[in-house]
Amino acid sequence: MCGIVGYVGPRDAAPIILDGLARLEYRGYDSAGIAVQNGGGVQIRRDVGKLGNLRAKVAAQPIDGHIGIGHTRWATHGVPAERNAHPHISQDGLFVLVHNGIVENYLPLRDELTAEGVRFSSETDTEVIVHLIEKYARRIGTDTDQQVIEAARAAVSRLTGAHAIVVLPTHLPHLLIATRIGNAGGVIVGLGEGEHYIASDIPAILEHTRDMIYLEHRQMAVVRADGVGIQTLEGALIKAKVHHVAFDAVSAAKGEFKHFMQKEIFEQAKGITDTLAGRIDRDHARVHLHDLNLTDERARALRRIVSVACGTSYYSALVGKFYLEQFARVAVEVEYGSEYRYRDPMLDAETAVLAITQSGETVDTLAAMEYARSHGAAVWSIVNAVGSQAMRLADGFIGMNVGPEIGVASTKTFTASIVDQYLLAVALGTARGTLTEERRRCLVEDLAKLPDILRRTLALDPLIQALAGKLHAYTDFLYLGRGAQYPIALEGALKLKEISYIHAEGYPAGEMKHGPIALIDETMPVVAIALKDALYEKMISQIEQVKARGGRVIALATEGDPYIAGKADDVLYLPDCPDMLAPVMVSLPMQLLAYHIAVWRGTDVDQPRNLAKSVTVE
Ligand code: AGP
């Protein structure tokens, strides 16, 4: 979703800003813009489509200067168009501004400003902010940094909703003012030597600095080349903590792979090794979750877990429910982050809210965390993005530890978050005394086998690619699973939808006869998860029902199954895997099938249309 980059210092601002925006491309956007100030005045370039279009414009009409701001926009108010792209400029030309978030009260503000004679040049909600700053600056004054800061403060204080805003006063070309209100993505100030950066996300500025200040709710940063000051929105000065970011920018390169998504699928065997590193003690059959701050007392007092998440992370939570209920005997409810806070849910001190989010910035999940906090529940998170808000807001967290995920479609973070919940369930089960030592030992040993099972599963790639060749022209798919494989059917269908734009539905196999069976014919392939587990016979009878209606079945089966070939049109034989971890294994062929079908169809696999990597608006 929208990205922000700002720079002030001795170097040329434009290349730093454009390269920073390029590192945020994976988040999804539909237009981009940049403003750079030099002695001769502010220069703004904006364009729709990919960043390449903006770069071409900047190359054709170069802009130079040592201070600037840039933005990638994901349209909310107003179509993707040059006039709606940021930065926006005030009528007097003294302020340019970029913004992430939604001005929820923009209609009355727009009416107020229109009545005062302001002419709007876009359909965006954002434009009201820059005109408000001009309005207050006219009253307070525009001569000094302090006057301009006050004007920005007065303007942003009028906004409702969540916001990340950066203002460049064009007549004071040494000053950037950044504000964060609520959760509209991060506002990060990067610290350099005689130069400073602002970004919505760490990767945008990671090649320049690893020392960062994360603005919190209702904080402003006053950023100049020679210093950074942090204050509350009310003007009280704050001593902000400087975080040193350690993650590896090199892992954010595609290497030998055609797409980031492909690379990230293939990273999963190693990824799970990293997720487990330092956390499983095979000698004592124990799990250690160092950042969770879980005491035995807290674990024993726990009566309920509410998992909140969106999209793929929601499906991960559905798998985790099986682990937490079976290993730790604690009741689990799984909730959509986007729905949770709107129905007055019941929470208490014996409940922990577990937020699952790879980006750690999904606004609905963050809002659910805040709701939980204000209603007395403990708040935990499972997060991949280091330093993200979901990590910082929680009482304790479990990192996915699989490195940055660039492809918009989640893959390695899905499997890592499932494994994190397995670890949590074992840790809770140990503390609560609901797992015998023998069972614990077995569960921990199973985990240790997982990376190798995933490696063998990934070796099926050529078969899956060939299968995709047979399937890519179909327009509707049904995915069936049972038990803990049902969420994997949902996730398989979501992956296909997201990157190939093919309609697909996931269903619990036993529900098929209650409706979707009406859709079955030779034009709708059915992907059925039919491993040799406790529900195998039941799955076979669902497959029979599909075949009896002329359907085409692709079965994901266990190697050595002698019967399945006689039931399905195509079979992918997967390695033998402990039942509880089989959802992780089955995720891989689901991801590969969606990936190869999308490649066949020639879609933009890493940045599918309309999607964003972290969804920072409601
Ligand atoms: C995953 O492929 C999707 N792009 C999307 O559903 C995603 O899982 C969802 O937006 C939640 O993201 P989060 O894990 O960063 O909170």
For 535-554, write each residue's pLDDT tens digit.
999 999 999 999 999 999 99
Interstrand relation of 476-481 and 503-508 (parallel, antiparallel or unpaired): parallel
How does pLDDT run across 588-603, given as a tens digit for each residue? 999 999 999 999 999 9
Q: To the nearest whole percent, how much of the chain has pLDDT over 90?
A: 85
- The catalytic residues are 2, 613
Average pLDDT (94-110) is 95
How does pLDDT run across 320-348, given as a tens digit for each residue? 999 999 999 999 999 999 998 888 899 99
Ligand 1 proximity of 365 Cβ (cutoff 6 Å): yes
Dihedral angle sign, alpha carbons of residues 435, 440, 444, 447: negative
Do 398 and 291 form a contact (C-beta atoms < 8 A)?
yes
- pLDDT at position 436 over 90: yes
In this prediction, residue 184 carries a pLDDT of: 80
**Atom number in ligand 1 closest to CA 309:** 16
**Atom number in ligand 1 closest to CA 408:** 4
Q: What are the residues whose beta carbons fall under 8 Å from the beta carbon of 107, sequence distance 6 or more?
A: none
Cα separation values, 341 from 285, 370, 387, 572, Å: 38, 9, 24, 41
In this prediction, residue 247 carries a pLDDT of: 58
Instruction: Give me the chain's average pLDDT, please.
Output: 94
In this prediction, residue 610 carries a pLDDT of: 85
**Which H or E run includes 129?**
helix 127-140
Q: Ligand 1, atom 7: nearest CA belongs to which residue? A: 311
Residue in this structure with the two tokens 């229109």, named with its chain if needed: 114
How does pLDDT run across 14-36, given as a tens digit for each residue? 999 999 999 888 777 889 999 99
Ligand 1 proximity of 336 Cβ (cutoff 6 Å): no
Q: Ligand 1, atom 13: nearest CA belongs to which residue? A: 357
Ligand 1 proximity of 411 Cβ (cutoff 6 Å): no
Lowest mean pLDDT of 25-34, 133-142, 467-476, 505-514, name the range: 25-34
User: Higher-confidence residue: 584 or 75?
Assistant: 584
- pLDDT at position 355 over 70: yes
Average pLDDT (36-48) is 92
Average pLDDT (269-288) is 92
Cα separation values, 496 from 29, 198, 521, 594, Å: 21, 36, 20, 5
- Ligand 1 mean position to 613 CA, how many Å? 7
In this prediction, residue 434 carries a pLDDT of: 97
Average pLDDT (58-82) is 93
Q: Ligand 1, atom 5: nearest CA belongs to which residue? A: 311
CA angle 395, 310, 372 (to 5 degrees): 35
Average pLDDT (490-503) is 98
Ligand 1 proximity of 357 Cβ (cutoff 6 Å): yes
- pLDDT at position 249 over 60: no
Q: Which amino acid, residue 245?
A: V
CA pair distance 185, 162, nearest whole angstrom? 9
**Atom number in ligand 1 closest to CA 365:** 16
**Atom number in ligand 1 closest to CA 359:** 15
The pTM of this model reads 0.79
- Ligand 1 mean position to 616 CA, how many Å? 11
In this prediction, residue 86 carries a pLDDT of: 96
* Strand positions, DSSP E, 39-141: 41-48, 67-73, 88-89, 95-101
CA pair distance 77, 128, nearest whole angstrom? 12
